[in-house]
Amino acid sequence: MKAENFRRHRRLRRSDSMRAMVRETFLHKEDLIYPVFAVEENDVRREVPSMPGVFHFSLDHLNAEIKEVVELGIQSVIVFGVPNHKDAVGSEAYCETGIVQRAIKQIKDEFPELTVIADTCLCQYTDHGHCGVIEDGYVLNDESLELLTKTAISQAEAGADIIAPSNMMDGFVGAIRKGLDEAGFVDVPVMSYAVKFSSAFYGPFRDAAHSSPQFGDRKTYQMDPANRLDAIREAESDVEEGADFLMVKPALSYLDIIRELKDRFPLPMVAYNVSGEYSMIKAASQNGWLNEEEVVLEKLTSMKRAGADLIITYFAKDAARWLDK
């Protein structure tokens, strides 16, 4: 075959420096959001069994973890709480002395420059494990919105920089935005879990947050993994209701959704690299089946390439160290 009959794409791959010169997508430490689990006991730094390297922290150990995060150059964390007390309406979620509220205040007092995101949901605070008020085995939408709004306001009062509602009730962004504005938090943005699929990848997180449903499942409010147009409708509703960020969860199996939403809506796009995506890589790497560093960085870069501006990932600390190399 004569040279003029084909293009020589390999010319731009001949060396490390040449490949770096033409690289299109970059992963930065500033893109990473690190999840933190706060618990109410004392003297606790307890590894989550299904998530090697991820820990529960009591407040007396939390500052040491956050100090390491800040020193690594990670600029944002998202806080999840694991309360001791649960009830039918998740009252600890919106209690001013709840574990998340205390954790947020402590972090902001010690590390004011760090952006602290509050996960706003009820599932880990309810004794039934669902994300709202239950009646006859069904999650009530509008009644749940009232409690979620109270939760968001209490988190903003504690010092949260961003409210991230993850409940998937209809109208949750509008209700929370209205509540925050009326409470004087007009400058606190809403990072909407706009597209949250009913996924099998959440199992290890439910182990970490003690949030498994005690009956049924969450398919009446989380989205069918088969649906693309439903994702667009959900995101469009959240944009209309005042969302400041859009999130897709999980990330790895839904890169097509991330790209489509990024192309359609002019808002920062967040990908949640969820617990199941984390744990399966950890398990494979511990068995020597793959190179953890190479796989994780490739995976996170794929999320950026798909259109994510920010990535919530349990690999954030490791990724920050690898990027420094």
Six-digit token pair at 178? Answer: 């209205």
Q: What is the separation of C-alpha 162 from the centre of its chain, rounded to a whole number of angstroms?
A: 12
Where do the DSSP E strands lie in 4-161?
32-39, 45-47, 55-58, 76-82, 115-120, 133-135, 138-140
CA distance 178 to 20: 46
Comparing C-alpha atoms, which of 229, 227, 275 is closest to residue 252?
A: 275
How big is the chain, counted in residues?
325
Query: For the purposes of burial, counting CB atoms within 10 Å of the CB of 96, is it exposed (0-12), middle (13-18) or buried (19 or more)?
Result: exposed
Q: What is the separation of C-alpha 205 from the centre of its chain, rounded to a whole number of angstroms?
A: 11
**Beta-strand relationship, 32-39 and 55-58:** parallel
Considering 150, 196, 262, 299, which one is annotated as catalytic? 196
The C-alpha angle with vertex 55 and arms to 53 and 57, in degrees rounded to 5, equals 150
Comparing C-alpha atoms, which of 147, 104, 145, 103 is closest to residue 125?
A: 147
What three-state secondary structure class fits 178? Answer: helix
Considering 249, 262, 282, 299, which one is annotated as catalytic? 249
The C-alpha angle with vertex 120 and arms to 302 and 43, in degrees rounded to 5, equals 90
Instruction: Answer yes or no: 86 catalytic.
Output: no
Query: For the purposes of burial, counting CB atoms within 10 Å of the CB of 52, is it exposed (0-12), middle (13-18) or buried (19 or more)?
Result: middle
Instruction: Answer yes or no: 317 catalytic.
Output: no
Comparing C-alpha atoms, which of 224, 235, 249, 214 is closest to residue 139?
A: 214
User: Which residues make beta-bridge pairs with 45?
Assistant: 57
What are the residue numbers of the active site? 196, 249
